[in-house]
Amino acid sequence: MNISEPVQKHIRLHTPFNDQKPGTSGLRKSSNYFTQPHYLESFIEAIFQTLPGVIGGTLVLGGDGRYGNQRAIDVILRMASAHGLSHVIATTGGILSTPAASHLIRRHDAIGGIILSASHNPGGPHGDFGVKVNGANGGPASESLTDEIYKCTQRLDGYKTLESVALPLDKPGNHRIGNMTVEVIDGVDDYICLMQRLFDFDRISALLRNDFPIVFDAMHAVTGQYAKRLFEECLDAPLGTVLNGVPLEDF
């Protein structure tokens, strides 16, 4: 699918934000905070100005499905194209767990990943939102990198983006925004393959069939679709083993 020819824009900032210092798990604020004009864009601009290998690079992008996830993905995709990335790997529905993102980064030799999550913090319009940066090794960004991102946010005078329609994420497929390819994949498949290489599924499945009932409560968070595929489809656990398995914006 080709998105209509986008227009590149440079949005000016009157004053840089001074409160975007990431912690060990990224930048976390209330959902309302991230809806401030230019707030998310400012932090993403600092990431793209600081992360090594952006021009011509590959980025992994997804989140835990909380409120603001889809909007943030749209913002990041348009900004990624404006900054010269050649390839972004996104996931259906924008759903991607942190361990699965780490695996995708390493598998595709990406320059890193942006994971939209505030971990265990509640989601929703009155909950929290977060932006985490992972490096090329799949792990959380180093303190030196997050320090550089923070310094960049303090001196920004604007950010680059493209004016383009939102990209559909409802099913796998390839798209283009400007000169950048966006590959939408099933966010669970690669992670399941990794688990099958690490664990003996035949023995685990035999255990579950041999009068060893379990219940997994995903609490409507990102792990639900991974757990349903693993337990109920791959390991033959009874249907209903996974409770609250559909990710919700306000889990």
What is the DSSP-derived secondary structure letter of residue 232? Answer: I
Look-up of token digits 């757990």: 227
The neighbour count for residue 239, using CB atoms within 10 Å, is 9
How many residues belong to the chain? 251
Rounded to the nearest 10 degrees, what angle do helices 98-107 and 189-198 cross at?
90
Q: From CA 108, how far away is CA 132, in angstroms rounded? A: 19
Coarse DSSP helix, strand, coil percentages of the chain, rounded to the nearest 5 percent: 35, 25, 40
Question: What separation in angstroms does the CA of 13 have from each of 10, 19, 41, 69, 132?
Answer: 10, 15, 10, 24, 23
Q: Are 171 and 139 in contact (CB under 8 A)?
A: no
Q: What are phi and psi of 58, to 5 degrees?
A: -110, 135
- In 3D space, the residue among 193, 245, 239, 184 whose CA is nearest the CA of residue 219 turns out to be 245
Active site residue 164: no
Task: Choose the catalytic residue: 25, 30, 86, 119.
Answer: 119
List active site positions.
119
